[in-house]
């Protein structure tokens, strides 16, 4: 399916938040996805992932998660300096600010004429995986895909300690978690802590584990694994179909 792309601006807490939107070209009603990047924001490896999802028939809205700290349109380079910069931005952003951003994008999707009523989901990578799960605590969200989510087991997200995992039972939708067995940021004991907390709820949940490193779905680094990425995408697309009917 061909797609169209646009950039919109939403004002949250008196800060202009750029949102990259990819949606199907044919007019119609499609599910809407709040799509979260990793700490490097909306570089081409991330927007390619958003485009790919949109091509399956979804309106995908990806906000700049550090809009309060970085100029509009900033793409952080995925190198040593960029890693320090992105992690510092993450540390300096209040958890309540992340929540306000999620609410703003979900509101925009709800009011968008191309989004089918009642069909909202979230998807994210790394810190974005954590944010996707946190945003899915909103009763409007029917499903969440969390790719190698960081900080869930420790509460590390922004200023303060996030209670996302403790509140996971508030989810009313379905959940897909994706991990790499070689991921140092979500080691086996952390992964087990996450999955144990989810298993203690009534959430319809599936988890996938690939022999891959952290951020294995980014195509611009040494950790990229195309085979695991293709396998994960098949599962992601299959996950959404029953979620949205």
Residues labelled catalytic: 126, 183, 214
- How long is the chain? 245
Burial class (CB in 10 A: 0-12, 13-18, 19+), 192: exposed
User: How far is 141 from 54, CA to CA, in rounded Å?
Assistant: 18
Please state the φ and ψ torsions of residue 199, each to the nearest 5 degrees: -65, -25
Other CB atoms within a 10 A radius of the CB of residue 207 amount to: 15
* CA distance readout (Å), 132 to 7, 81, 138, 232: 20, 26, 11, 17
125 SS3 class? strand
Structure token pair of residue 194: 């996450």
Q: Give the CB-side neighbour count of residue 80, counting CA atoms within 13 A.
A: 0
User: How far is 210 from 191, CA to CA, in rounded Å?
Assistant: 13
């Amino acid at each position: 399916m061909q797609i169209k792309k646009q950039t919109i601006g939403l004002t949250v807490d008196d800060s202009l938040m750029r949102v990259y939107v990819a949606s199907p070209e044919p007019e119609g009603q499609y599910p809407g996805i709040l799509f979260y990047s990793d700490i490097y924001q909306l570089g081409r490896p991330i927007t390619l992932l958003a485009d790919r999802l949109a091509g399956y028939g979804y309106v995908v809205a990806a906000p700049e998660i550090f809009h309060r700290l970085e100029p509009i349109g900033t793409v952080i380079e995925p190198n040593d300096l960029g890693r320090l910069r992105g992690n510092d931005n993450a540390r300096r952003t209040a958890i309540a600010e992340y929540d306000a951003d999620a609410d703003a994008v979900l509101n925009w999707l709800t009011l968008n004429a191309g989004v089918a009523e009642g069909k909202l989901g979230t998807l994210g990578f790394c810190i974005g995986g954590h944010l996707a799960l946190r945003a899915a605590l909103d009763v409007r969200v029917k499903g969440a895909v969390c790719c190698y989510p960081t900080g869930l087991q420790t509460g590390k997200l922004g200023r303060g300690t996030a209670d996302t995992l403790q509140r996971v039972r508030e989810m009313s939708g379905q959940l897909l978690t994706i991990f790499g067995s070689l991921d140092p940021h979500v080691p086996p004991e952390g992964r087990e802590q996450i999955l144990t907390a989810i298993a203690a709820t009534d959430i319809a949940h599936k988890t996938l584990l690939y022999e891959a490193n952290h951020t294995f779905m980014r195509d611009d680094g040494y950790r990229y694994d195309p085979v695991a990425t293709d396998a994960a995408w098949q599962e992601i697309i299959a996950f959404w179909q029953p979620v949205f009917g």
